[in-house]
A = this chain, B = another copy of it.
């Protein structure tokens, strides 16, 4: 029941500014919020008092390290499978595996550490930081053995960067239809990393700049995961990280030390970093030749395709969800680019016929996840929602067909093509390959 109040005059400047500000905030289009069908109630004489307001709650330090509310128990990492069901892990299989970030449940730039995606080739070790060392050797004047404690004393930097597995969205070439945005695209996360630049560490070691061409980074995991990095890239913005989102790295993300190679595929961001060898030749390790190399259609391979190109995905509405009713929905999504900042995101609600510029709803950091939003009315008619990212180089996120045409059908990694979600008349949201 609407309770009428005195009619608002429109001559007051502050009031006009307020109204203006609200409509500007609404972004493109004039979507009436009343279409959200708010529950309008009578003036409450006595507000209902729930049970939790009538009793003393939990004390401080109920958890000395806090945990999510038990009501958020569905917001977890998962394995990817079409039914999107949590799978009991099979030890012999799951150390060479991956778990996916629940993108649809996240907001903004930061992925909380407990939901950061996992990817291992031999499981993750539980390293004692007091026994771990970082060795720097090779084409240097001084071979160094650096303890974790001492590494943390070096001048450090804080940077917000995404990490994405080069195999992210692998299932979306059309062969395996994943169902949820978590299941298809969940091998991407974003955090604030703290660490020491390689340029500083190599200055300490006295790098031989006449000869140095590559750095071999090796991890302390069972497979001794190793990758080569060109020395120019290494000296530019690569650093040894020891913290994520303000606290120590998680064991799953490389505790106590990992490499961060901004904008480049996940596997080169070596976890459990134990060794940096300065060399004059790349390593041609297994994990940059037989794996993580892109096969083209013509018996050729595109190797060292390191950079994760501009990409976006709508996280809501997304696969597996059901829109409860017609009305207003704020389409939301994430965009990122390994080449720098996202400059724009376009959204189509009709399968790509028409495109409109979305709103950027978070801070924009180069090589970090950026959130976008777009106001939309679900009218009960079928719709296909797509987003496309544009980065600072002018690069535009491509259609799947465009990628397949230019790279051939054996191509597997670096699937940064657009994601389309089909909304059926009953509100069900499904993955469609376009």
Contact = CB atoms under 8 A, between A and B. Distances in A.
B77 A362 contact: no
A317 B57 CA distance: 37
23 contacts: A2-B142, A5-B141, A18-B203, A18-B235, A21-B199, A34-B204, A36-B153, A40-B143, A52-B125, A53-B221, A54-B222, A59-B89, A59-B93, A60-B119, A61-B77, A66-B115, A66-B250, A68-B248, A71-B127, A71-B128, A71-B256, A112-B247, A158-B361
Interface stretch (A129-137, A259-267, A419-427): A129-137
Interface in A59-83: 59-72, 75-79
B94 A33 contact: no
A62 B114 CA distance: 12
A246 B107 contact: yes
Which of A65, A156, A232 has the largest number of chain B CB atoms within 10 A?
A65
Interface residues of A, number: 150
Interface in A382-433: none
Interface string A230-274: 001001000000010111111110011000000000000000001
A214 interface: no
A71 B330 CA distance: 42
A38 interface: yes
Interface of A: 2-6, 8-9, 12, 14-15, 18-19, 21-22, 25-27, 33-34, 36, 38-44, 47, 50, 52-72, 75-79, 86-87, 89, 91, 93-95, 97-99, 105-116, 118-120, 122-129, 131-132, 135, 137, 139-147, 150, 153-158, 160, 192, 194, 197, 199-200, 203-204, 206, 208-211, 220-222, 224, 232, 235, 243, 245-252, 255-256, 274-275, 328-330, 361-363, 365, 371, 373, 375
A41 to B, nearest CB: 5
Contacts of A157: 361
Given A15-B209, A146-B39, A197-B25, A60 B251 contact: no
8 tightest A-B CB contacts, nearest first: A57-B123, A59-B94, A108-B158, A52-B125, A64-B76, A107-B194, A66-B114, A60-B99
Given A108-B158, A204-B38, A132 B50 contact: yes
Contact of A95 (B50, B58, B203, B208): B58
A203 to B, nearest CB: 5
A48 to B, nearest CB: 8
B61 A94 contact: yes
B155 A246 contact: no
A206 B363 CA distance: 30
Contact of A143 (B44, B54, B91): B44
A226 to B, nearest CB: 12
B222 A56 contact: yes
A78 B247 CA distance: 16
Given A107-B156, A328-B153, A139 B222 contact: no
A257 to B, nearest CB: 12
